[in-house]
Chain A
């Protein structure tokens, strides 16, 4: 199946720094989603974006649905240790059933 291009693959940052990750696609998606996954668990939805150009915040997290409907970014401000994990973008549409996931961004916070 198709996948989204998610970058970076991993990030090593200091606590307190801001984080930015993005996803791009060759296909148009109707919905963009951002998830966080802990080891051995299912993904947990962080932010859902339903409209091109939409900018949505959830606490320290901010995400935007690209105007072309082919991209999205997620920002995390003032990172804390609990933010460690793997973040996935996902899209709905693009001619596929279910969700199409990016390959994930592994966030590591150094003390």
Chain B
């Protein structure tokens, strides 16, 4: 069964609205969660690292006020894309920091 559960699997939203993506670790406690973004026909790029109980760290060029990350418990990390624009349309994937073996199913975000 799935070790990491990511929801939703796809979402379409209007420009200017916010979208929340959830990532749950099902069988273990994840103190760290990596959030990746993948544009069409490109590789996965690390956006940010969420840390349970503390602030997330963001990669260079990723706006922390636009991509809000919350890691309030050892089993749940969320990524909120605020004031979404069409250029935010992408495939977002989470992965627990404790293991490189598992990724979420991914969320296809389309901003219209």
Q: Which residues of A contact B (CB under 8 A)?
A: 1, 3, 31, 33, 40-45, 48, 88, 90, 92, 96-104
Contact = CB atoms under 8 A, between A and B. Distances in A.
Given A42-B105, A98-B49, A92 B100 contact: yes
Interface in B42-74: 42-46, 49, 57, 59-60
Nearest to A3: B43
A1 B42 contact: no
A99 B106 contact: no
Contact of A1 (B60, B105, B108): B60
B43 A43 contact: no
Contact of A40 (B42, B101, B106): B106
6 contacts: A40-B91, A42-B106, A96-B46, A99-B100, A103-B43, A104-B43
